[in-house]
Amino acid sequence: MVQRQLPNPVELLELMQFKKPQLDGKKRRLDGALTIDDLRTIAKRRTPKAAFDYTDGAAEGELSLTRARQAFQDVEFHPGILRPAPDVDTSVDILGGPSALPFGIAPTGFTRLMQTEGEVAGAGAAAAAGIPFTLSTLGTTSIEGVKAANPHGRNWFQLYVMRDREISYELTRRAAAAGFDTLQFTVDTPVAGARLRDKRNGFSIPPQLTLGTIINAIPRPWWWYDFLTTPKLEFASLSTTGGTVGELLDAAMDPTISYDDLAVIRDIWPGKIVIKGVQNVEDSVRLRDAGVDGIVLSNHGGRQLDRAPIPFHLLPEVRKAVGDDFTVMIDTGIMNGADIVAAVALGADFTLIGRAYLYGLMAGGRAGVDRTIEILRTEIERTMRLLGVASLAELEPAHVTQLTRLVPVTRAASDVVVG
């Protein structure tokens, strides 16, 4: 028989300690976010639909984004046992400089529409974490404004080659003068992708007020207060902000972009240059041979060509083709620190986060971006310890299996009709 007794208050106090209530609402909700998906849930609750969907959505049926995220979920890790890793080193040297973590903040457009602190919050959080921050050509803070927010950290600039080439050339010179050390020359946006959520929401710059917009904004007065009481959006490049997002992109981009444009920009730019938007092995090798400093395997977060290649699936083959001494980075679909660990194990030198950063921004401004970085840092460190590796250099392909759902169909020669 079990012996029973009346509860002893002293013993209960030893077993149960009451948590002090957190009166700061922002800190309470951010502390409660344990994953990037938690931050996404908070962001969706606090941000008007048009702005949230611009961040969250992708092109057409959004298959490219869905597949990219699924590819990371379809990872099987292979840990080593009896290999203590009480302390892990997450630092990496990338493109001639240090980063405290194997990821940086990717370029994002129209960022202050997501939350008014925008790129200033991102650059400040990156500086505090010791990681690079990338400003988009379509960012809503100037080159000089980002430099002021991150005066001693690493700033990178993402460049679109526009129809008016002189705009692109002048932006390149300004970024160089401000001390930005790396240029991301973007090649996957000759025209704007069909972002159907934006079309359905009538998303435009500035926001167009419709009855639906107003109804959606009623429970989110803080967003409108921030938007209406802070300085006018300042784009890094565009002098006009009227029209839909697609119209702005089509006016800025140029489908005739070529290797000749790359040669001109390389003559202007004094720092490192990487090509963002590479989506096959052949282009990776050609760019390596052309002498660029690196590439970013990316399908633009699924926001351009739907059904585009999955960057994470391309990674092992690209690494094998270009060799170990060429810088290969990757973005698209990263929602967990384990995704980053898997990418590094399969050959990525570095990764970039876009939506994950914006979810944090929308959830809580600068503090939300800090929380994004902290969540990913914790997940990276925990995954490394569980794998039994003490440094990123110890990660190798043997630690990861890419489980495959989408297998290319190969037709037998006898099935091919010739006529």
**SS3 state at 118:** helix
Q: How far is CA 198 from the centre of its chain?
A: 19
Helix, strand and coil content of the chain, in percent to the nearest 5, comes to: 45, 15, 40
Q: Which residue has the tokens 């690493």?
A: 154
**Cα dihedral: 276, 279, 285, 290 (round 10):** -30
**Active-site annotation holds for 313:** no
CA distance 252 to 200: 22
Q: How far is CA 257 from the centre of its chain?
A: 24
Q: Which residue has the tokens 């079990």?
A: 2
**SS3 state at 388:** coil
CA distance 284 to 292: 10
* 28 residue type, one letter: R
Q: Which residue has the tokens 């049926």?
A: 61
For residue 85, report the phi and psi dihedrals to the nearest 5 degrees.
-140, 65
Q: How far is CA 332 from the centre of its chain?
A: 7
Q: Residues 152, 300, 313, 399: which is the catalytic one?
A: 300
**Cα dihedral: 176, 180, 184, 185 (round 10):** -10
**SS3 state at 163:** coil
HEC readout, 22-69: CCCHHHHHHHCCCCHHHHHHHHHHHCCHHHHHHHHCCCCCCHHHHHHH
Question: Does the bond joining 206 to the residue before it have cis omega, within 30 degrees of 0?
Answer: yes
For residue 66, report the phi and psi dihedrals to the nearest 5 degrees.
-60, -45
Catalytic residues: 300
